[in-house]
Amino acid sequence: EVQLVESGGGLVQPGGSLRLSCAASGFSVGTNYMSWVRQAPGKGLEWVSFIYSGGSTYYADSVKGRFTISRDNSKNTVFLQINSLRAEDTAVYYCARDGREELQFAFQIWGQGTMVTVTS
C-alpha cells in the first residue's frame, strides 16, 4: 500500500528548531518528487518545499533560508529541517508525493500531517 507517515512535530519556542520526518511505503522517495505543504490552524494550504528525484530542492519565499528539505533513500524517508521558527510557522505540516512521473501534475498522495506549534 502506498502510504506516507509524518512525525517529529511538537511544541517549540520561537527561534527553535525541529526536524520533521516523512516515512514512505509502497514506493521509493528517491525516484519520486516529494513536497511539504503546511496549513495554519483554520487557514488554507501553503506549499513549502520540493525535492526532485534528481535531488534539486525548491522553497517558498516564506521559508527560504530557514527550512531545508532532504531525503535518505536507504530509509525511504524525506525530512524537513525547520530552523529559526516563528509564530507564523505554526501549522500542520503534510508530506506529499506529486504525480508528474505519471503526467499527473498534482499532489497524489498525502500523509496524515504532523502539528508544529511555535509558542513562548
DSSP 8-state secondary structure symbol assigned to residue 111 = -
Q: Which of residues 9-48 bind other proteins (CB under 8 A)?
A: 35, 37, 44-47
* Closest CB 12 distance from other proteins, rounded Å: 22
CB of 99 to other proteins, least distance (A): 7
What's the farthest any 2 CA atoms get from each other in the chain? Answer: 44
Nearest C-alpha neighbor of 113 from the set 36, 25, 14 = 36
CA distance 90 to 94: 13
**Residue whose CB is less far from other proteins, 42 or 74:** 42
Query: x/- string (CB under 8 A) for other proteins, residues 66-95?
Result: ----------------------------x-
